[in-house]
A and B are shown apart, each in its own frame.
Chain A
Amino acid sequence: MIQIRGLSKYFGRFSALRNLDLAVRQGEFIALFGRNGAGKSTLLRLLAGLSRPSSGTIQYSRLAGSPKRLNPRSDIGYLSHLTSLYLDLTAMENLRFYAQLMDIQLDEEDLVQRIGRVGLAGREREPVRNYSRGMQQRLAIARAFLHDPEMLLLDEPFTGLDQSGSDLLKRVLADAHARGKTCIMAIHDAQVGYELADRLVILERGAAAFDTPKSSLSLAEFREQYMKNATDLTDA
Chain B
Amino acid sequence: MNKIWAIFRKDLLIELRTKDSFNAMLFFGIVVLVIFNFAMESLRSSIHSAVPGVLWVAFAFSGTLGLNRMFAAEKENGCLQGLLMIPADRGVIYLGKTLAATVFMLIVEFIVFVFSLVFFNLTVWAEIPYLALIFFIGTLGFTAVGTLLSAIAVNTRMREVLLPLILFPVILPVLVNAVEATNIVLNTADYHALKLPLTVMTVFTIVFGTISYLLFEHVLED
Contacts and interface: CB of A to CB of B under 8 A. Distances in A.
Interface residues of A, number: 31
B86 A101 contact: yes
A87 B78 CA distance: 11
B87 A84 contact: no
Interface in B1-31: 2-3, 6-7, 10, 13-14, 17-18
Contacts, number: 72
Chain B interface SS verdict (over half): helix
Given A84-B77, A87-B76, A88-B17, A48 B10 contact: no
Contact of B85 (A78, A83, A85): A78
A176 B78 CA distance: 24
B86 A102 contact: yes
Of residues B13, B87, B88, B222, which shows the largest number of chain A Cβ atoms within 10 Å of its Cβ?
B87
Contacts of A76: 85
Interface stretch (A25-33, A92-100, A196-204, A219-227): A92-100
B87 A98 contact: no
A86 B7 CA distance: 12
A136 B6 CA distance: 22
Contacts of B82: 84-85, 98, 143
Contacts of B88: 73, 101
A100 B222 contact: no
B10 A51 contact: no
B87 A82 contact: no
A89 interface: yes
Interface of A: 11, 45, 48-52, 71, 73-74, 76, 78, 80, 82-89, 93, 97-98, 100-103, 127, 136, 143
Given A78-B81, A101-B7, 10 more contacts: A50-B81, A73-B88, A74-B87, A80-B78, A84-B82, A88-B17, A93-B10, A97-B6, A102-B87, A103-B87
